A and B are shown apart, each in its own frame.
Chain A
């Protein structure tokens, strides 16, 4: 027997309704039920950071979060980062400027993590950026450009 729960989630400032099995993670709810495929599934086990989103302004891993857990919280994904008119968020623009990716698969998670990292005040030096961005792996090895992009966005913030 499949049981489902009805959820009302606040995502990027909009209320979204969905019916899912209780075991469905926030990551799968976004990608498979709400057509928000910007958030990526890498390891699906909390080890790579590709699925990073913000819940109540804090960066978390959506693969280890149940959708049912975050009812009533404010969820922000990569799709909500740019302005309504299409202007990129300064961190997105810095990633483009510094070519801070190769294949691009980890990039939404890197950017969501970087936005939070700067907001937390943990982007004061390259060393600090490397430590506080350690939860986002890039298998192409674009780390030098990622650090440069985060540093520039932090300096401009």
Chain B
């Protein structure tokens, strides 16, 4: 890890100003920054610790929804009574992520900005070619070991999957990211790689996530996060689904449904085609399984990740059927 200077930000404005400087990086929980600095992916010259900024860790809930400060820890948000009651999928997405230790460290703002776990991205010494790390250098993953690479939203430049869980739940429930001067829908905050895989999000130099806003809704209140992975715990998703469901008074016709996928796409992936196929329809296993296949429209595999195209719709269907009381 290259040496760097360390300073503590005294105000949000000062942090934003400092972060514009070339080679400067903001430090929150440190679980991404220090990890990737040790890998040689990040080489900051100046690290600005923002964890002592007051007022950025609050979790507030009212009738309109929740506002979560960017510096709130993953574990605090997961266990917060108002989040558990009104956004079960958000709480579950956090509890199923990382380990208890990491959840005590990592902030939700930093969680949104975590980088891909693509092993080629994380190993510059062995794999110099990576368009996400060094634009124009090529992609070592295409033609390589791709078991956990994306099948949706890929480009010829990059097939790295977005690894996070929280953002999948946020995208499902139309949450927004407060960047201080502007607020962006979570769905639009994340970018597909296209020909610029070095850009994961729309965040610009000098911007800092201030908080996350999640609107309350009956579908968000009746929601779940289902995560399927290679081991029971402490592992990234092979495929995951955030699902929220609101039924009509008859108890079986869909009034509102939200579906988003993780572990299979280059960004948190909202599956609107699945939602549109089911809204206004009566829930039954056959129609749910058929609609869930629409989540994979446009999917492209690269060898070993082919299983995701079969797995992900089953995860979506199981989550919907669970929420509808049919599984």
Which residues of A pack against B, CB within 8 Å?
2-3, 5, 21-23, 25, 44-46, 49, 52, 58-61, 63-66, 68-69, 113, 116-117, 120, 122, 130-136
Contacts and interface: CB of A to CB of B under 8 A. Distances in A.
Interface in B8-58: 27, 30-31, 34-35, 37-39, 47, 49, 51
Contacts of A136: 99
Q: Which DSSP category, helix, strand, loop or mixed, fits chain A's interface?
A: mixed
Closest 8 CB pairs of A and B: A135-B99, A22-B6, A134-B233, A134-B234, A58-B104, A64-B34, A68-B6, A135-B101
A68 B4 CA distance: 12
Contact of B3 (A3, A44, A46): A3
Contacts of B232: 130-131, 134
Nearest to B47: A22
B100 interface: yes
Interface of B: 1-6, 27, 30-31, 34-35, 37-39, 47, 49, 51, 98-102, 104-105, 232-234
Contact of B5 (A3, A25, A117, A133): A3
Contacts of A49: 99, 101
Which residue of A45, A64, A132 has the most chain B CB atoms within 10 A of its CB atom? A64
Contacts of A64: 30-31, 34-35, 102, 105
A77 B72 CA distance: 25
Contacts of A45: 35, 38-39
A21 to B, nearest CB: 5
Nearest to B37: A23
Nearest to B95: A131
B99 A21 contact: no
Contacts, number: 85
B259 to A, nearest CB: 26
B30 A5 contact: no
A11 B1 CA distance: 25
A58 B102 CA distance: 11
A61 B4 contact: no
Given A23-B37, A134-B233, A135-B234, 5 more contacts: A60-B104, A66-B49, A131-B232, A134-B232, A135-B100
Contacts of A117: 100
Contacts of A65: 30, 34, 105
Nearest to A133: B100
Nearest to B49: A69
8 contacts: A22-B5, A25-B34, A45-B35, A46-B31, A61-B105, A132-B100, A134-B99, A135-B100
Contacts of B49: 66, 68-69
A32 B173 CA distance: 47
Contacts of B4: 22-23
A69 B30 contact: yes
A44 B38 CA distance: 9
B31 A116 contact: no
Contacts of B101: 49, 52, 59-61, 113, 135
Contact of A21 (B3, B35, B39, B100): B3
Contacts of B38: 44-45
B99 to A, nearest CB: 2
Contacts of B5: 3, 22
A9 to B, nearest CB: 14
B34 A66 contact: yes
A23 B3 contact: yes
A49 B102 CA distance: 9
B104 A5 contact: no
Nearest to A127: B232
Contacts of A63: 34
A122 B32 CA distance: 26
A135 B35 CA distance: 16
